[in-house]
């Protein structure tokens, strides 16, 4: 039997959700031109579009909202954030910003310019965008095991360090502006990166004098996986593990909308370099606002200070990642493939396997996302060829290495019964999978098409 770790909280406030009839959902998705981003959230029953900014804050965080200090400078909430962040990450300097991509906008151009490259275990879309906006090129370098969704590997998010070394040599170390370690590796399926791997990446980077940046959006989930799977960490606390992880980098950019469980916020950390921190501050002021608020209200900063602590609770993480493991266990029972072992914030369904009759250019993962909405009002999204788009040079559809339908689970929001609804829906879809057809694009914008493109069933 698949275990479910009961919620380590009780519910004080609820938000009603409604279920439309199947006929209504068929109409809504047609009106949305078969693009889940065009659906009204009121027409969605279980929203698994993202785990970012969609978590439920605690009573303590809401209390923090009320006492947040809105002073322009010298705010008490800013001081609370500095204390909380130092306790979790062990760095000397921190700069709040309004979200993860704002941190990227401030930090990337310091290290990256025209002619430079960034190497990462995998760049998240906005990270890649900011590398490219700075004039540089982004190279992904995840271990090959990540591409095999079936076979077990405890740390599928790892950097391929041997390949990274080759890439440094090929590009010339002076042209590698930074190494970015994304924890967990979102694009590979929320997959963790091991401590040994982070340490080795860092040692290689140091030997070439290349700075290391951690994309820290899911730092707590990554620390939890290290504790559970890596030798020598079982008796260490999540914070001890996080501090060791961050000790191998020089700087971090973080979206606080994930593991810090807030609806808006981001953070930059600088280990110990005062000059680098001066540059970060100088860039933050014109883009984000004065250093003590960085594009956020004092109340958001207060909620972040509290959320950083709550996000590192072992009981919370056991329940949280337990939800993914529960879902994955149920999928094993009904024979539905996903990126396995399951990651930290989402189940990445392998649509290539389930809908093997739909070729990549007819978007199997998007087709599965649409079926999940029609079947049970569940909103997920395509992380596959539909999201990938066309080759900018040839205009041809790119074939993605994965065809994932991502079920991203918001933190502290849905219960075991909601997860069971997802499993039931997938069972129904599995039983009629041969009737499911692919899609073609009626209209698309030039960039980031998946947000606004219009599709039609074939
Ligand atoms: N880095 C990673 C690894 C992310 O997953 C995200 C956001 C960002 C950076 C950017 O942060 O949204 O606060 O600006 N990921 C969300 C997702 C949007 O759905 O996976 P942001």
pLDDT score, position 447: 78
Residues in the chain: 458
Ligand 1 centre to CA of 270 (Å) is 20
Q: Which of the following is catalytic: 22, 37, 72, 282?
A: 72
- Given the candidates 3.40.640.10, 3.30.1540.20, 3.40.50.720, 3.30.465.10, the CATH classification of the domain at 59-310 is 3.40.640.10
In angstroms, the Cα distances linking 410 to 36, 145, 174, 219, 259 are: 17, 27, 41, 16, 10
Give the containing element (helix H, strand E) for 95. Answer: strand 93-97
Phi, psi for residue 142 in degrees, rounded to 5: -85, 155
pLDDT < 70 positions in the chain: none
Ligand 1 centre to CA of 235 (Å) is 30
Q: Which of the following is catalytic: 47, 140, 160, 215?
A: 215
Residues 69-95 have pLDDT tens digits of 999 999 999 999 999 999 999 999 999
Say if ligand 1 is within 6 A of residue 52 CB: yes
pLDDT score, position 79: 98
Directed axis angle between helix 161-171 and helix 195-208, to 10°? Answer: 20
Ligand 1 centre to CA of 55 (Å) is 14
Say if ligand 1 is within 6 A of residue 124 CB: yes
Ligand 1 centre to CA of 219 (Å) is 12
State yes or no: is 361 an active-site residue. Answer: no
pLDDT score, position 369: 98
In angstroms, the Cα distances linking 158 to 11, 120, 315, 330, 367 are: 37, 10, 25, 26, 30
pLDDT score, position 388: 87
CA-CA distance, 348 to 150, in Å (whole number)? 12
Report which of 53, 213, 239 is spatially closest to residue 118, judged by C-alpha positions. Answer: 213
Residues 24-75 have pLDDT tens digits of 999 999 999 999 999 999 999 999 999 999 999 999 999 999 999 999 999 9
pLDDT score, position 155: 98
Pairing of strands 251-255, 439-443: unpaired
Say if ligand 1 is within 6 A of residue 215 CB: yes
Say if ligand 1 is within 6 A of residue 257 CB: yes
- Which of 217, 222, 406 has the most ligand 1 atoms within 8 A of CB, as the residue to mutate? 217
Q: List every span in the chain annotated with CATH 3.90.1150.10.
A: 22-51+313-457
Q: List every span in the chain annotated with CATH 3.40.640.10.
A: 59-310
Report which of 105, 96, 133, 134 is spatially closest to residue 289, judged by C-alpha positions. Answer: 96
pLDDT score, position 270: 98
Query: Where does residue 418 rank: exposed (0-12), middle (13-18), buried (19+ CB within 10 A)?
Result: middle
Q: Cβ distance 181 to 216 under 8 Å?
A: no
State yes or no: is 125 an active-site residue. Answer: yes
Report which of 319, 397, 327, 404 is spatially closest to residue 146, judged by C-alpha positions. Answer: 404
pLDDT score, position 319: 98
State yes or no: is 252 an active-site residue. Answer: no
What kind of fold does domain 22-51+313-457 have according to CATH? 3.90.1150
pLDDT score, position 347: 98
Closest Cα to atom 9 of ligand 1: 100
Structure tokens at 155: 């740390």
């Amino acid at each position: 039997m698949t275990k479910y770790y009961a919620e380590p909280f009780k519910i004080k406030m609820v938000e009603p959700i409604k279920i439309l009839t199947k006929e209504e959902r068929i109409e809504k998705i047609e009106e949305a031109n078969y693009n889940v981003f065009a659906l009204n959230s009121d027409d969605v029953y279980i929203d698994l579009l993202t785990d970012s900014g969609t978590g439920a804050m605690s009573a303590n965080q809401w209390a923090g909202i009320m006492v947040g200090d809105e002073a322009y400078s010298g705010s008490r909430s800013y001081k609370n954030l500095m204390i909380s962040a130092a306790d979790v990450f062990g760095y000397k300097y921190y700069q709040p910003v309004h979200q993860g991509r704002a941190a990227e906008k401030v930090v990337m151009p310091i290290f990256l310019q025209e002619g430079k490259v960034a190497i990462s275990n995998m760049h998240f879309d906005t990270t890649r965008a900011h590398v490219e906006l700075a004039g540089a090129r982004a190279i992904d370098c995840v271990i090959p095991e990540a591409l095999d969704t079936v076979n077990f590997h405890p740390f599928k998010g790892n950097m391929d360090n041997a390949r990274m070394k080759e890439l440094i040599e090929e590009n010339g170390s002076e042209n590698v502006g930074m190494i970015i370690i994304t924890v967990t590796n979102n694009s590979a399926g929320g997959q963790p990166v091991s401590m040994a791997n982070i340490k080795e990446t860092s040692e290689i980077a140091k030997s070439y004098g290349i700075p290391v940046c951690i994309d820290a959006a899911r730092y707590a989930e990554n620390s939890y996986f290290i504790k559970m799977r890596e030798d020598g960490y079982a008796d260490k606390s999540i914070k001890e593990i996080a501090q060791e992880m961050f000790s191998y980098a020089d700087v971090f950019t973080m979206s606080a909308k994930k593991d810090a469980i807030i609806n808006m916020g981001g953070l930059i950390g600088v280990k110990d370099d005062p000059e680098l921190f001066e540059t970060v501050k100088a860039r933050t002021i014109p883009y984000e606002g004065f250093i003590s608020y960085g594009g956020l209200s004092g109340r958001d900063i207060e909620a972040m200070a509290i959320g950083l602590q709550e996000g590192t609770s072992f009981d919370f993480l056991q329940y949280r990642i337990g939800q993914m493991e529960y879902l994955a266990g149920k999928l094993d029972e009904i024979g539905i493939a996903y990126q396995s072992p399951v990651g930290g914030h989402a189940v990445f369904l392998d649509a290539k396997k389930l809908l093997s009759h739909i070729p990549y250019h007819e978007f199997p993962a998007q087709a599965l996302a649409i079926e999940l909405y029609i079947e049970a009002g569940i909103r997920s999204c395509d992380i596959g060829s539909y999201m990938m788009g066309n080759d900018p040079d040839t205009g041809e559809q790119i074939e993605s290495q994965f065809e994932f339908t991502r079920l991203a689970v918001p933190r502290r929001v849905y219960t075991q019964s909601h997860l069971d609804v997802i499993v039931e829906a997938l069972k129904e879809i599995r039983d009629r999978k041969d009737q499911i057809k692919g899609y073609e694009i009626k209209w698309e914008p030039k960039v980031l098409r998946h947000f606004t493109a219009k599709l039609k069933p074939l």
